[in-house]
């Protein structure tokens, strides 16, 4: 039965969008929703206000308080302006940097945003055209800005757009600024938004920033001699219609690689993503064209990045001649293993290095750190939390890498967000290093498992769109909290970690300990006696709940790898069945 009170509330909110304050196109769209007998779209568009999640503001484009449009983005900008003016009142000129990706309306939203900042007396540095997210992060630091934004919905389908807000260190905004900005935004009425700022406070950025960025990307290289020996290795790369169409190939060339093979159809910059259903390198379908090209040319490495250029996908040829996608955990393992190994070989380890991973990522990263006497930190999902650790340790410890399972890595701290540009170039160097040893990247990954232990990971996303879906997701979390599983995969449950209370409880002994995190988060983790880890987390940016599985296994010989994979897959499937997935 439809919730009459909810419908009444959303109708009242929608009626406000029929005033002359809103443009004609918006008013027509809202009126159409109000006139429709099907109230689903009306409710989904107005039942809440878009909120900042792990990736900022993100949603489907259209009219409404729960949609991405000129007004919701305008309110975010105005709220951010108000907050910046309070925090940096002593500065003669507050500055922000603005970027955008390839999505439909992104340029329009970026230009409109620049006007809002200018109208509030804030100088706006606006990229001349689309640029990847890591370059925006870099530009904030390079220009000495107090903040920055990028208009993007990352890897989401074409209907989406979004808005990421950054602080003066080039990191996405964290506590207390995130909550404070949300409060500022919530107090902004549409008539408060200053849309028409002067052009003289808007400065366009172009190739000069690209060159500065690429110069820093080149410093990520650890073994230029290895690249020189294998500079002609075959690299297939696709930007999947996105922002890295120029910069990733440029970064590869900066490193010294000469044989970069592109996919012309996917070099076409388009917010419609005409060759894929979803431009997400985590999805095999998104990398299908690149993998087909790899078979055609017998490539040594296949790489892709998402539309805003922060995530990278990697495919390598296995021992049977088939190209397989390396998952995000494995990508992070390869990066961390390479960086530590080569730095130790070069005598560059000073004893003050650290790495960062997210709590849902593989525990093998922590194992590599422990065995190499490297400090490591566990943080919540989102690179803003990795950047927060870097900021806290700046001047004391040296950051050498950090990543998460969702195909993101940050190999250096001149960028404070996921960086597919630097990561693609470094991954190509690692592939060259493997060739230098007479190996493939696939065999290099096996080497890591043989040295540090074997584990297998899998992530499942359960989509639940709209208000009804949000309620269902919360009910699932409530159910897991009230009745945690007693065992999983044939192993008794040992620990349950609830990040909403920051309490870890041993179900066998009853012992309770405090989880070392600054703020709470709606995440649950289950640990069994045999080392299995399951994390459950509603997405902060999409209408879904995610389940992260990691199971341990035995691998003593390279020849046993396929059997270890099969055994782990069977165990994960059994656990999924136990959880009703």
Whether residue 154 lies in the annotated active site: yes
Residue with tokens 């055994």: 567
Per-residue three-class SS string for 429-473: HHHHHHHHCCCCHHHHHHHHHHHHCEEEEEEEEEECCHHHHHHHH
From 329, 399, 13, 12, select the one nearest 171 (Cα to Cα): 399
Residue 207's Cβ-count burial label (10 Å; 0-12, 13-18, 19+) is exposed
Residues 6+ apart with CB under 8 A from 134: 213, 309, 310, 415, 417, 418, 419, 420, 421, 422
- Residues 463/545, Cβ–Cβ less than 8 Å: no
Q: Which residue has the tokens 């109000």?
A: 34
Instruction: Give phi and psi for 282, each to the nearest 5.
Output: -70, -25
Q: Chain centroid to CA 544: how far? A: 15
Cβ-based neighbour number of residue 230 at 10 Å: 19
Given the structure tokens 């308080």, which residue do they identify?
A: 65
Q: Is 261 exposed, middle or buried (0-12, 13-18, 19+ CB in 10 A)?
A: middle
Tell me which residue of 329, 322, 333 sits closest to 450, measured CA to CA: 333
Neighbouring-strand partners of residue 260: 235
What count of residues does the chain have? 581
* List 106, 112, 113, 154, catalytic entry: 154
Cβ distance 382 to 54 under 8 Å?
Answer: yes
Going by C-beta distance under 8 Å and a sequence separation of 6 or more, which residues neighbour residue 317?
294, 299, 300, 323, 324, 440, 442
DSSP-assigned states of every residue in 286-339: GGHHHHHHHHHHT-SEEEEE-TTS-BEEEEEE-TTS-EEEEPHHHHHHHHHHHH
The encoded tokens of residue 545 equal: 């709940």
CA dihedral 79, 82, 86, 89 (to 10 degrees): 140
Question: Active-site positions?
Answer: 154
């Amino acid at each position: 039965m439809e919730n009459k009170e909810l419908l009444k509330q959303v109708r009242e909110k929608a009626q406000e969008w029929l005033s002359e304050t809103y443009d004609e196109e918006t008013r027509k769209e809202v009126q159409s929703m109000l006139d429709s007998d099907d109230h689903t779209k009306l409710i989904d568009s107005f039942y809440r206000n878009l909120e900042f999640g792990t990736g900022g503001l993100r949603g489907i484009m259209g009219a409404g308080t729960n949609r991405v449009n000129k007004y919701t983005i305008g309110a975010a900008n105005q709220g951010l302006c108000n907050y910046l003016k309070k925090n940096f009142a002593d500065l003669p000129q507050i500055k922000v940097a603005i970027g955008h990706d390839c999505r439909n309306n992104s340029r329009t939203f970026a230009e409109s945003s620049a006007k809002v900042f200018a109208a509030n007396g804030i100088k706006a540095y606006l990229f001349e055209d689309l640029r990847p997210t890591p370059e925006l992060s870099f530009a904030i630091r390079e220009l000495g800005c107090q903040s920055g934004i990028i208009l993007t919905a990352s890897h989401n389908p074409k209907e989406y757009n979004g808005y990421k807000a950054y602080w003066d260190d080039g990191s996405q905004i964290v506590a207390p600024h995130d909550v404070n900005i949300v409060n500022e935004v919530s107090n902004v009425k549409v008539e408060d938004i200053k849309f028409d700022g002067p052009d003289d406070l808007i400065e366009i950025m172009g190739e000069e920033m690209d060159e500065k960025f690429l110069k820093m990307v080149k410093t990520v290289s650890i073994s230029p001699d290895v690249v020189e020996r294998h500079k002609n290795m075959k690299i297939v790369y696709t930007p999947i219609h996105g922002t890295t169409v120029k910069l990733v190939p440029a970064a590869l060339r900066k490193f010294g690689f000469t044989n970069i093979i592109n996919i012309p159809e996917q070099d076409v910059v388009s917010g419609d993503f005409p060759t894929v259903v979803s431009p997400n390198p985590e999805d095999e379908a998104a990398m299908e064209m690149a993998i087909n090209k790899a078979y055609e040319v017998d490539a040594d490495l296949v790489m892709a990045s998402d539309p805003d250029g922060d995530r990278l996908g990697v495919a390598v040829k296995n021992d049977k001649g088939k190209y397989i996608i390396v998952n995000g955990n494995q990508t992070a393992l390869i990066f961390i293993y390479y960086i530590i190994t080569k730095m130790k070989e070069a005598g560059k380890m000073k004893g003050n290095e650290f790495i960062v991973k997210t709590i849902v990522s593989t525990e093998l990263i922590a194992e590599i750190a422990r065995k190499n006497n490297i400090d490591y930190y566990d943080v919540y999902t989102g690179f803003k939390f990795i950047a927060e650790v870097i900021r806290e340790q700046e001047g004391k410890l040296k950051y050498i890498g950090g990543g998460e399972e969702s195909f993101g890595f940050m190999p250096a701290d001149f960028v404070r967000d996921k960086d597919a540009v630097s990561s693609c170039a470094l991954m190509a160097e690692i592939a060259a290093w493997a060739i230098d040893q007479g190996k493939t990247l696939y065999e290099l990954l096996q080497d890591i498992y043989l040295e540090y232990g074997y584990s297998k990971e899998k992530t499942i996303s359960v989509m639940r769109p709209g208000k009804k879906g949000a309620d269902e997701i919360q009910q699932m979390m409530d159910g897991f909290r009230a009745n945690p599983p007693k065992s999983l995969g044939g192993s008794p449950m040992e620990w349950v970690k609830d990040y909403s209370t920051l309490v870890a409880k041993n179900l066998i002994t009853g012992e309770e300990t405090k989880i070392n995190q600054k703020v709470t988060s709606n995440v649950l983790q289950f640990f069994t006696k045999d080392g299995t880890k399951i994390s459950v987390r509603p997405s902060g940016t999409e209408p879904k709940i995610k389940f992260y599985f990691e199971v341990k296994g035995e691998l003593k010989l390279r020849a046993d790898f396929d059997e270890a994979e099969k055994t782990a897959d069977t165990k994960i499937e059994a656990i999924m069945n136990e959880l009703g997935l």
